[in-house]
Amino acid sequence: MTKPYDRILSVDFETYWDSKSFTLSKMTTEEYIRDDKFLAFGACIHEFRSDRPTQWYRGGDELHRVLSTYDWGRTAVLAHNAQFDVSILSWRYNVRPAFIFDTLSMARALRGVEVGNSLARLASDFSLPPKGTAVYSTDGLKSISREVEKELADYCAHDVYLCEEIFKRLVAGYPTSELRLIDMTLKMYTEPVLQLDQEMLVKAIEEERTIREGLLQRLDIDEKHLASNPKFAELLHKLGVPPPMKTSKTTGKQTLALAKNDAHFQALLNGDNVDVKTLCEARLKVKSTTERTRAQRFLEIAQRGTLPVPLSYYGALSGRWTASKGSAINMQNLKRNSFLRKAIMAPEGYQLVVGDLSQIEPRVLAWLSDYEDMLDIFRSGADPYAAFGAQMFNIPGMTKDSHPDLRQSAKSALLGCGYGLGWASFAQQLLTGFLGAPPVRYSKDFAKLLGVNSEYAQAFAKWDGNEEKLMEIPHTCSTQDLVYHSLASKAIIDTYRRTAHPVVSFWSMCDHALHKSLVGGKEMVYKCVTFRKGEIELPNGMKLLYPDLRQIKDDKGKSQIVYGPHATKLYAGKITNNITQALARIVMTDGMLKVSKRYPVKGTVHDELIAVVPDAEVEDAKTWVLAQMTMEPRYMPGIPLNADGGAHRRYGLAKN
């Protein structure tokens, strides 16, 4: 790319903090910087690669004066944890750099998220002088002496030196497209434009409180009885229902199974006993504080200003974003159609144009595995779940209306079974709600519809370990009903693997690459990815990293391959998942970068981007944005991409 800057300034701020109450360990970055108590003692500034010494400038007038001398339209900023330092520049000094470099983001991508990427850790790992400790002398000080200021300035200058030295080591060969994504991600936070509807948030908080209190009043019980496991168990006993139990994975002993995702609790919640159902709903209202806590957080942010979108670039192995550590809000899991999404708005005179890649992971997996039948389904533009179901169950012309249950089963298989999911895990997840769908327990009649007969059941029973796996599934139904459910689940997995045999062949290729390349060290190229010892290189130059890859034996003496400090298992299905998600992420980010050349991208949620577009350009922009997102990538020739979207001033209504 043409550089959007003429110089890079390394910047590091030193600010007032109090370990008892005013510290980033107890506050979010947004809260801390926007608080009235915020005070910048000063900052060190150095022009990267210049011979001039690093300068310390006091906060206030001196720093304002110095910052005003730069042309920020052509000046980039380098920092470690730039979200913090550049937010100060933007929110406190009205400085918006042309480009942002962040060594913390780069280190996460190049070293992995598990190894630790603090400035001190990076300095140690790169054999640089250790990070200083002078900052501790300012704890609780709102004004500092000349002596303390000198010590602080030296400490700050050393941090700038470390940041620059680390940057030199990280930036060599770093893909330009990924540097642009770091800049885009940080500007979602440091240059926020999304607004929050305070009136809607207040109303939603009040409505939630009214509903919760009404439930408690109707049931004539106290909130603490619903929140406490033992007290809730007593309430179930009074209704004549024995509280569900499960075996604790930690202790191996029996314990109450009253968590939201416990199959036993889900069975009570979705059962026929109205009193028990109401009691469980009330427990969820009391225990599920996420929505009201977020609403309160959003309201507090709205009272301070616009919404900084807190995302961590390369927060996951695949390169996907995660919520920023300590941000207290997770934009990645806002419920669809929730009032929180609707409360997020574009500025006056603008709308949010949303583009969402459709079935991107199944499309990528079909392309990777040369699954031509599935690629043809995607190319046809037909309902992919019904069309796949027609192949799976040999029912030509299947539609959502003609065979809703089988279509849903095909959808579950297409979205969830491509990574080697076993029947027992599938059966268990169905009971609690597979991939966010309502809980399902397959019946005897449905098992028959799938072709399960006595011969199939006998073979299932004879297979070593199946009976043990079945009885480990938490359930409230009879054992016989669990058997029918498990047989149906196994039949769906088997049918998926027979139908999607190219995917199964791709698993075999990944298993071969695991042993030959990732462990054995022999380079192997497959389509747009390259396998090497401990890593898989992606078409954008980034890598999937498997540090300290090693072979161990589990508690049953079975050999397995693990990596990282937590001995994470690595196997063919996991590699398939990692590659598929990583490539889907690159397709998504390619679209984001194209869109950002015309409109600012101010948010992303999974496979969805949020662009801010002037009212007058919205109709053309809706079509244009989707076109950018679905351009065939040069590294994935022949893949059929699709996306849907829409526009509205409110984020939650953009796709309705």
566 and 414 in contact (C-beta within 8 Å)?
Answer: no
Element (H, E) at 14: strand 7-15
**Mean predicted confidence (pLDDT) in 59-74:** 96
Whether residue 310 is predicted with pLDDT greater than 90 in this model: the reply is yes
pLDDT band at 289; cut points 50, 70, 90: low
Does the pLDDT of residue 13 top 90, yes or no? yes
Average pLDDT over residues 234-240: 86
182, 204: one domain: no
User: What's residue 136's pLDDT?
Assistant: 61
Residue 448 maps to a domain: yes
| pLDDT given for residue 15 in this prediction | 96
Rounded to the nearest 5°, which phi and psi values hold at 608?
A: -125, 140
Residue matched to tokens 């970055």: 29
Beta strand pairing call for 254-256 and 568-569: unpaired
The whole-angstrom separation of Cα 389 and Cα 366 is: 16
Residues in Cβ contact with 176 at an 8 Å cutoff, skipping those fewer than 6 apart: 1
Q: What percent of the chain has pLDDT over 70?
A: 98
Dist CA 404 CA 156 (whole Å) = 63
Output the pLDDT for position 133.
78
pLDDT (tens digit per residue) in 330-341: 888 787 788 899
Do 50 and 184 fall within a single domain? yes
Are 482 and 408 members of one domain? yes
Please report the pLDDT score of residue 29 as a whole number: 96
Spatial distance between the Cα atoms of 614 and 219, rounded to a whole number of angstroms: 50
Question: In this structure, is residue 187 part of a structural domain?
Answer: yes
SS3 readout for 162-199: HHHHHHHHHHCCCCHHHHHHHHHHHHHHHCCCCEECHH
* Whether residue 281 has pLDDT greater than 90: no
**1 inside domain:** no
Picking from 499, 520, 548, the residue at the C-terminal end of a domain is 499
pLDDT, residue 288, reads 66
**Domain identity same for 170 and 251:** no
Alpha carbons 259 and 272: distance in angstroms, whole number = 19
By CB neighbour count within 10 A (0-12 exposed, 13-18 middle, 19+ buried), where does 38 fall?
Answer: middle
pLDDT at 373 over 70: yes
- Phi first, then psi, for residue 544 (nearest 5°) are -85, 125
> Worst-scoring range by mean pLDDT, 35-39, 134-138, 594-598?
134-138
The confidence score (pLDDT) of residue 1 equals 59
264 and 188 in a common domain: no
* Domain stops at, among 448, 468, 499: 499
- Give the chain's count of helices (H) and strands (E): 26, 22
Distance of alpha carbon 390 from alpha carbon 373, whole angstroms: 12
Total-model pTM: 0.91
pLDDT tier for residue 238 given thresholds of 50, 70 and 90: confident
Q: Residue 24 burial by CB count (10 A; 0-12/13-18/19+): exposed, middle or buried?
A: middle
Domain check: are 254 and 186 in the same one? Answer: no
pLDDT category of residue 234 using cuts at 50, 70 and 90: confident
- Residue 632 per-residue DSSP state: P
Q: Which residues contact 222 (CB under 8 A, 6 or more apart)?
A: 216
Summarize pLDDT for 142-153 with one digit per residue, the tens.
Answer: 999 999 999 999
Residue with tokens 């990267």: 48
Question: Would 259 be classed as within a structural domain?
Answer: yes
pLDDT, position 290: 64
**Rounded to 5 degrees, what angle do the CA atoms 217, 219, 222 make?**
70
**Mean pLDDT, rounded, for 2-17:** 95
Residue 245 or residue 17, greater confidence: 17
Residues 392 and 485 in one domain: yes
**184 and 203 fall within a common domain:** no
Identify whether 224 is part of a domain: yes
Q: pLDDT-based confidence at 301, cuts 50/70/90?
A: very high
CA-derived radius of gyration, the chain = 28
Q: What is the CATH number of the domain that holds 211?
A: 1.20.1060
Tell me what the mean pLDDT of segment 173-193 comes to. 97
Residue 508 falls inside a structural domain:
no
Categorize the per-residue pLDDT at 656 as very low, low, confident or very high, splitting at 50, 70 and 90.
confident
Give the rounded distance of the alpha carbon of 334 from its chain centre: 11
Residues 402-426 have a mean pLDDT of: 89
Whether residue 391 is found in the same domain as residue 492: yes
Residue 345 banded pLDDT, cuts 50, 70, 90: very high
For the segment 482-526, what is each residue's pLDDT rounded down to a tens digit? 999 999 999 999 999 999 999 999 999 999 999 999 999 999 999
Which pLDDT score is estimated for 428?
87
Q: Is residue 307 part of a domain?
A: no
| CATH number, position 27 | 3.30.420.10
Mean pLDDT calculated for residue range 319-324: 92
For residues 155 and 12, state if they share a domain. yes
d(CA 435, CA 416): 8
pLDDT band with cut points at 50, 70 and 90 for residue 171: very high
What are 107's two structure tokens? 């280190």
Is residue 495, in this structure, part of any structural domain at all?
Answer: yes
Q: Which domain holds residue 432?
A: 372-499
Can you give the pLDDT at residue 294? Answer: 85
Domain count of the fold of the chain: 3
Q: Looking at residues 635-651, what average pLDDT do you find?
A: 97
Amino acid at the residue 543: K
The 3-class SS string of 19-82 reads CCCECCCCCCHHHHHHCCCCCEEEEEEEECCCCCCCEEEECCHHHHHHHCCCCHHHEEEEECCH
Same domain? 183 vs 231:
no
Indicate the residue among 274, 292, 310 that finishes a domain.
292
Please provide the size of the chain in residues. Answer: 656
Q: Are 587 and 365 in contact (CB under 8 A)?
A: no
Instruction: Calculate mean pLDDT across residues 355-365.
Output: 96
Say if residue 207 is in the same domain as residue 184.
Answer: no
Q: What is the pLDDT of residue 553?
A: 86
For the chain, the average pLDDT equals 91
